[in-house]
Structure 1
């Protein structure tokens, strides 16, 4: 699996607090079958990460440490399954975002044309549409982060409308889990069955209440979704982003 949404870089936002915690998060992710992770640190007023070089250096150091051979209890060196960390940011959309992207002050996903964008949960639908249209008019492909958080998208066929405007939809694994009585879980599952989701992410922030957690969601998706579609949203589409290829 490839995780397209995570906060694993230490000390830059409300995610990992230290390199040690970042390595622990990656270890948990590895055990769940995650081979690649996009390090999508926040860009917002609270976290004005406008130094891509710093984020790249942190990514390089974290990946180096994560893939370092370790000694087992028997003293023998063990080579772990390598994990690839891709650059990126979760960008809170504003009127200045496109300018900052053009000035190379913000990171796209894996240096591609794909941009992970977020909004306030109570954002008006018109604001999301405007953001999608503005990004699409330029060279960028908008990826709407954790789309299940935006209440305005639960009305009518708004998710389909955004897809028609060339937006991609990212959903968090944790939101798919839960009981059938969970309104958010029902909405997520319904849209997965309709094929309205393009990418999945853990949105992991720490090793506690927001650790990487895919198990319950994957159990449901393996049971209810077409195998080819499941592979697309958990791996293949993310690979296409790393190659800057079109996702259909």
Structure 2
């Protein structure tokens, strides 16, 4: 199985992730030890907070890519956008980086954002041909409602949770909620969101072992390989729409 981490911050010197080349290399080694063989590197972009130039990101990405290859990991470049008013315009002008040049866009919101704000922003992305991946859904106060997550999924939004939340790093209630979303098949991706060697280490190995016991190997393969393939193979909108319809039909039968 080609375990894929679609959301992490391992490129050094571009955001609040890896702080040095040495830390980056150690993080990559930890990912490999967890069984990860593909990584989408997703440096932050947030106006006035993280606005690293594309040239600098590309330069440090190439160095990270080389280090990853040495430990047996294939890398791809993406971005984690913080929602801002000019995002859609910048995407259209190719000023922002989608996930591996696909139609997928990884996006985060403020924890206190209203659900209407989240839904409307994601709808605009969908209406313009993009496929939003809602980063770490468990962080948003107004998304801690199964019906609201279902509404977003039915729209075509892809839902991502952090492995740490499933392991209890944000408390028992968040852990239980995330597992409930999994039981109701409302999760598309589980990612490490790894940043460093202290507070936010790579952790997919632990969650994969737990999920294989709880959900079986076929489910784990779907979450960690088949769904990431939709990004990496850059499938067209029609095939993505067909996949969404099939998923919604399966949920309706639950």
TM-score by structure 1 length? 0.90
Q: 1:205 aligns with which of 195, 202, 209?
A: 195
Is the 1:6–1:201 Cα contact (8 Å) retained in structure 2?
Answer: yes
| Aligned-residue offset at 1:85 | 1.1
Q: Is 1:3 paired with 2:5? A: yes
1:95 CA drift (Å): 1.6
Work out the CA distance in 1 between the residues paired with 2:93 and 2:192. Answer: 29
Note the 1:61-210 alignment, pairs <5 A.
Answer: 61-68=63-70, 80=71, 82-178=72-168, 182-210=172-200
Question: What whole-Å deviation, never above 9, does each CA across 1:135-189 have from its counterpart, x for those lacking one?
Answer: 001121000000111111112500000011110001111111139x700100010
Contact map agreement 1:6 1:203 (CA 8 A) in 2: yes
TM-score normalised to structure 2 length: 0.88
What per-residue deviation string (whole Å, max 9, x for no partner) do you get for residues 27-56 of structure 1?
A: 00000000011110001131023x334322
The answer to whether structure 1 residue 218 and structure 2 residue 208 are counterparts is: yes
Structure-1 residue corresponding to 2:252: none
CA distance in 2, matches of 1:25, 1:224: 27
8 Å Cα contact 1:193-1:224 kept in structure 2: no
Question: 2:17: which partner in 1?
Answer: 15
- Listed as ranges, the gaps of 5+ residues in structure 2 are 245-254
**2:35 and 2:205 in contact (8 A); partners too:** no
Is the Cα contact below 8 Å between 1:177 and 1:220 reproduced in 2? no
Once the two structures are overlaid, the 10-residue window that deviates more, 89-98 or 150-159, is 150-159
* 1:6-42 Cα deviation digits (max 9, x unpaired): 0011111111111111111000000000001111000
Measured against aligned partners, the alpha-carbon deviations of 1:184-210 in whole angstroms (never above 9, x if no partner) come to 100010111111000111000011111
Match of 2:249 in 1: none
The RMSD of aligned alpha carbons is 1.5
Provide the rounded CA distance (Å) in 2 between the counterparts of 1:215 and 1:27: 12
Structure with a larger share of its residues in helix:
2
Q: Aligned-pair distance for 1:228?
A: 2.1
Q: Secondary structure at the match of 1:11?
A: coil
Check if 1:55 corresponds to 2:57.
Answer: yes
Deviation at 1:243, TM superposition (A): 0.8
Q: What SS is found at the alignment partner of 2:15? A: coil
TM superposition shift of 1:57: 2.5
Q: Aligned partners of 1:153, 1:132: CA distance in 2, in Å?
A: 13
Instruction: Structure 1: state its 5+ residue gaps.
Output: 69-79
Equivalence for 2:39: 37
Q: Say which SS state the counterpart of residue 23 (structure 1) adopts.
A: helix
Q: Distance in 2 between matches of 1:224 and 1:25?
A: 27
Q: What CA deviation, in whole Å up to 9, does each residue of 1:104-146 have, x standing for no partner?
A: 2211001100000000111100011011110001121000000
Secondary structure of the corresponding residue to residue 123 of structure 2: helix
